[in-house]
Amino acid sequence: MRVASTIALAATILIAGCATRPGVPAETPSAARFLPEEDLAGRSYGKGEFRSITGVRRAFDVELNGAWDGSTLTLVEDFRYADGVNERKTWRLTKSADGRYRGSREDVVGEAVGFIDGAVFRLEYTMAIPKKDGGARKVQFRDVLAEDGAGGIINRANVSWYGIPVGNVDLRTSRTPLS
């Protein structure tokens, strides 16, 4: 009986972790509608932080530069982490006829899938995070992007590993450099 209870508990945790999407940020104006090809085009600047369930916090600044060619958004992200690490990542998000977005980035495993969900844009993908031993840990990201009502963007992400929540990311961007 104890084994059955353990299996049921594990299944519940996995299902709950898999189903967790960030909610719509409270700051999102009711009339807002996020369109990646419009809201991510051009240059913007952001401050964010990754927080893990183990207490690890990793702050970063990011400069974003997006270009829309009529079917694909190319978004170059230049990260500067507080620990001195700098990274450049490039998203390529292509809009499908069904209104969904399919995407790739250097560290994304397989294909990212994006879609409009009311006032927000959701992006879901698996990322390979390098480990010290040279391997990679695959974690799932569930992002929500929304307007903040002041011309900026809020990006929140829940991060899970095998369906178990392990962290989250909060990022705010603006069209002007943040101090």
pLDDT digits (tens, 9 = 90+) for 2-38: 544 444 444 444 444 444 778 767 676 667 789 999 9
Determine the pLDDT at residue 36.
96
The number of domains in the chain is: 1
Q: How far apart are CA 126 and CA 136, in angstroms?
A: 12
- Lowest mean pLDDT, pick from 10-24, 38-52, 89-103, 111-125: 10-24
Confidence (pLDDT) at 127: 97
- Flag whether pLDDT at 75 surpasses 60: yes
CATH, residue 106: 2.40.128.20
**In this structure, how many other beta carbons lie within 10 angstroms of the beta carbon of residue 157?**
23
Regarding beta strands 42-52 and 136-147, do their DSSP bridges make them parallel or antiparallel, or are they unpaired? unpaired
Residue 162, in any domain of the structure: yes
Mean pLDDT of 94-116: 96
Q: What per-residue confidence (pLDDT) applies to 97?
A: 92
Report if residue 146 sits inside a domain. Answer: yes
In a domain, 179, yes or no: no
* Range(s) of the domain holding residue 54: 2-174
User: Three-state SS for 38?
Assistant: helix
* Residue 71 in this model has a pLDDT that exceeds 60: yes
The fraction of the chain above a pLDDT of 70, given in percent, is 85
Q: Is 165 a domain residue? A: yes
User: What's the rounded Cα separation, in Å, for the pair 12 and 34?
Assistant: 33
Burial of 102 (0-12, 13-18, 19+ CB in 10 A): middle
| Of the candidates 98, 33, 36, 23, the residue with the CA atom closest to the CA atom of residue 67 | 36
Q: What's the pTM value of the predicted model, to 2 decimals? A: 0.85
Evaluate whether 165 touches 17 at the Cβ level (below 8 Å): yes
* 21 closest CA partner among 125, 92, 95, 103: 125
Q: For residues 142-152, give the mean pLDDT.
A: 92
Region for 149 from its dihedrals, namely left if φ exceeds 0, alpha if ψ lies in -120 to 50, beta otherwise: left
Residue 80 belongs to some domain of the structure: yes
Does residue 155 lie in a domain region?
yes
For position 81, what pLDDT does the model report? 97
